[in-house]
Amino acid sequence: MKRSSPFAKTRLSDLSKSLTMAYGNDKGGTIFAAAERILTVELAGVNDRGNKMIGKHIRSNILPGYACYRAMLDGGISSSETVEFVKTELCRSTERMARLCKLLNSKKYAYGLVRFLVNVFLNYGYPNQGWTMVMLENNKERIRFDMTSCLYCEELQKRDAFELCSAYCYTDVASYTPLAPAVRFLREGTLAQTGVKCDFCFEKGTATK
């Protein structure tokens, strides 16, 4: 029976193929094998802070990206190239969300739907065991909030991989920018950039249908 990769059910399920395409069968395969070993060890020691959603974020998103990052660095790839590679892989995993957002970018009901979904995601997908959120506006024109602490930053910093945070932050831009012009996703900075906050703003724009 073929062994299942620890990456199989994660956000980076196609990592083996991507590494092989980027670095060839030998080097890419070696890096992937190292990433599998790292991920296996990390998964065995997950602390989900008593919350299943926290565990899902760590197992499916944070640790796979970290394992790839660490294996690439150990394989002699520069940190800048490594972060860019992981960012590309993470953004590839958001393509479905980006396509769905693009379908809404001319709809008059887009902002109302986005506002509803954002509220649901914040309530259920980002529990306070992992994030500290400050809601600033939530009305018919915009929903705006700050994240002043973040599970991703904390878990990556513990592993001496804080520079990788920016790759995860960019997936927000890749996912939500296609909502324009019906909804504009605006951001001034992130915890990874400033150490202060990630600001989120979904603003009602113009729609034609």
| Nearest in space to 70 (alpha carbons), one of 18, 34, 46 | 34
pLDDT at 1: 47
Q: What are the pLDDT digits (tens) for 134-163?
A: 999 999 999 999 999 999 999 999 999 999
Q: How far is 58 from 15, CA to CA, in rounded Å?
A: 17
Confidence of residue 209 (pLDDT cuts 50, 70, 90): confident
pLDDT of residue 207: 79
Are the C-beta atoms of residues 104 and 114 closer than 8 Å to each other? yes
Mean pLDDT of the chain: 95
What is the pLDDT, as a whole number, of residue 10?
96
Task: Report the alpha-carbon distance of residue 37 to residue 146 in Å, rounded.
Answer: 36
β-strand partners of 132 = 149
Residue bearing the bigger pLDDT, 4 or 2: 4
Average pLDDT over residues 12-21: 97
- Of 171, 204, 175, the closest CA to residue 190 belongs to 171
The reported pTM is 0.94
Residue 208 has pLDDT above 90, yes or no: no
Question: Does the pLDDT value for residue 104 go beyond 70?
Answer: yes
Tokens found for residue 55: 């565990």
Q: What is the mean pLDDT of residues 41-69?
A: 97
Mean pLDDT of 61-75: 98
pLDDT tens sequence across 168-197: 999 999 999 999 999 999 999 999 998 899
Averaged pLDDT for residues 44-65: 96
How far from the centroid of its chain's Cα atoms is residue 182's Cα? 23
Per-residue confidence at 38, pLDDT binned at 50, 70, 90?
very high
